Amino acid sequence: MIKLGDKLPAMKLMIATGEGPREADTAELLGQGKVVLFAVPGAFTPTCSAKHVPGFVKLAPEFKAKGVERIVCLAVNDAFVLGAWAKDQKSGDAVIMLADGSAAFTKALGLELDLTARGMGVRSQRFALIAEEGVVTRLFVEEPGGFEVSRAEAVLEAL
């Protein structure tokens, strides 16, 4: 599993935009400036939709005031699903929706979660991290079923 001081992996993923999916290089997206990355087990799932994304959308101005240049939500879903979810969540420019459709980035972080028994396949654990110039400076990984350390309020407090 990725740890403090590690560099985030560089690879090509997809971002959901208003104009449709576009390719993104994680080295550029996550490797420049101070970035908050949070991951959810899946778009449109209950806790993710009711609490996780809304918290980051609501507190985005406070994150910016603390020097965070980008807030990125990672999910093991395709960019079309994340695009629809962004509209549903009214995330606008506050949160960038990053699609890890094949879980390649999630697996490179060592934070995958096998939910095959629940019909969801391989997903991401719920977590958040703070990276500066692509290096992990803070890491918040939830216990299974938990929603405490990776919520927006907790991450903001850690800045």
Catalytic residue numbers, as ranges: 48
Q: Pairing mode, if any, of strands 112-115 and 121-124?
A: antiparallel
Q: Write b or e for each residue in 81-102: b if 16 or more Cβ atoms lie within 10 A of its Cβ, otherwise e.
A: bbbebbeebebeebbbbbbbbe
Helices and strands counted in the chain (H then E): 6, 9
Distance separating alpha carbons of residues 131 and 28, to the nearest angstrom: 12
Residue with tokens 């490179």: 108
Cβ burial, residue 27 (10 Å; 0-12/13-18/19+): middle
